[in-house]
Amino acid sequence: MAPRTDELLAQAKQVAPLVAHRGQQGLLLAKAQGCRVFDADNVGFVDLTGGSCLLGYANQYVLDAVRKVTTLGLASGFASTSEVELAEACSEFLPQYAPWIFTSSETEAFELAIRFCRRHTGRMRLVVFDGNRAGAVETLQVIPGGPVGLSLPKISGLLPELCRAVRVVPWGNAEALARVLEEVGVDTAAVLLDPIASQFGVIPPDPAFLQKVRELTRNVGALLVLDETLTGFRLERGGANQAFQIEADILVLGGVLGGGVSTLGAVAFAKNLEVTVGEEVAPPPSPLAVAAAAATLSVLRNDAGYVRLEERSAQLEAGVQALAEKFERPLRVSRVGSIFSLSFSRQGVRDAASAANCDQITYRRFYEAVRDSGALLPSKSPAPAFLSLAHGVKDVEAILQAMEAALRKMQKEDEA
């Protein structure tokens, strides 16, 4: 790293060790613009980690909306007029869902959705897949343990009863889900589904599997909660719910909605649930985040953006595959829309076992060499990476050039 960055990391180790750890694993950010991020020494990197920045960093339209709000002196803690505008925009993208509830974070949105499911059904149990994102939701910090469906704490300090209330099913295994629901379906409030199994990077879902999940939840009277915190408004206007025709009962969104300005969560309910919102909902989100979200959705009304995003994503995928063949490396790319993951794996990532078998040592060498050549990937594999509307043809070419330089460097090191 460069002098100023090294100095700040040394300071952080003393006063903010978590900041130092994150800075060493990824980047200690000083500024961001378009598809590039810059460290304290003004060294720029083409970024592939910004999942919330679908429009790119410091998008002018979003910044103008935020500046306008700052001049109005709006205070946090109040529901803002912008929330009405945002709810109308969301309803335009997903007309089969209402009402909409906005929260300050994805975690609050998940907690609200889970509480609603339990109150609506009168049941307490949840069923999740091992590929689901856990985020910071305490209830979801579980891993499979013992017979199919039983769970164990993922982190220390969890209440045992939390784990007992959550069953974990292998990703992509509809038969296992059917067996678990046969056992506990009458006690199950909801099945939670991350449609791309982002805990394992990105796994393109089998449409038949998704439809089977929808069928099984309806059969036992459980609600289907779709995690759209990565896919919402990114895959297409209607997210994974529309792209894969899932027809979920409840959507939990975040990510793109914040516009890269601030965290924001949302919960949307299928109209057929006839939801009446209670008073126990989370406090309203920041007016800045709401304004950024409304501005972001205004830009996404243009179909050309999604077409361009798919073109750049396909360009990147084809380029990575060509490099893997050129250097005879088991470098795998798995993609759903503009979300993708990279791994060094002979068989590719399909489930928990194959994700665990990825070559982390080789990926770390690759990550560091790519970073040295000017592009920033997720520091671990497999993990989701993202393209934005700010990535142009030349930017994708720069990413592929950085990857090629990294693979050439690795080849020389292995031959030495």
In this structure, whether the domain defined by 60-299 belongs to CATH 3.40.640.10 is answered with yes
Query: Among residues of the chain, what percentage have pLDDT more than 70?
Result: 97
- Please check whether the two domains, 3-54+303-415 and 60-299, share a CATH topology: no
Give 267-271 contacts, CB < 8 A, sequence gap 24+: 267/100, 267/101, 267/103, 267/109, 267/112, 267/113, 267/116, 268/90, 268/94, 268/97, 268/98, 268/99, 268/100, 268/101, 269/97, 269/98, 269/99, 269/116, 270/96, 270/97, 271/96, 271/97, 271/98
By DSSP bridging, strand 29-33 and strand 151-153 are unpaired
Q: How far is CA 377 from CA 1, 120, 188, 194, in A?
A: 16, 42, 38, 22
Residue carrying the six token digits 């046969």: 182
Residue carrying the six token digits 């903010």: 16
Which residue has better confidence, 41 or 241?
241
Tell me: pLDDT of 186 over 60: yes
Query: Among residues of the chain, what percentage have pLDDT more than 90?
Result: 71
pLDDT of residue 190: 97
Tell me: pLDDT of 403 over 80: yes
Which residue has better confidence, 74 or 233?
233
Average pLDDT, the chain: 91
Which residue has better confidence, 108 or 276?
108
pLDDT of residue 309: 96
Residue carrying the six token digits 């309203």: 284
Whole-model pTM? 0.93
pLDDT of residue 179: 95
And the tokens for 42? 């003004």
Which of 360, 376, 359 minimizes the C-alpha distance to 368? 376
3-54+303-415: CATH topology: Aspartate Aminotransferase, domain 1 (3.90.1150)
The pLDDT of 158-181, averaged and rounded, is 89
And the tokens for 363? 């990926």
Interval 39-93: pLDDT, tens: 888 889 999 998 889 999 999 999 999 999 888 876 677 778 888 999 999 999 9
Q: Is the dihedral of CA 387, 390, 393, 398 positive or negative?
A: negative
The domains of the chain are located at 3-54+303-415, 60-299
The pLDDT of 153-182, averaged and rounded, is 87
pLDDT of residue 229: 95
Task: Name the least confident of 10-14, 163-167, 199-203.
Answer: 10-14
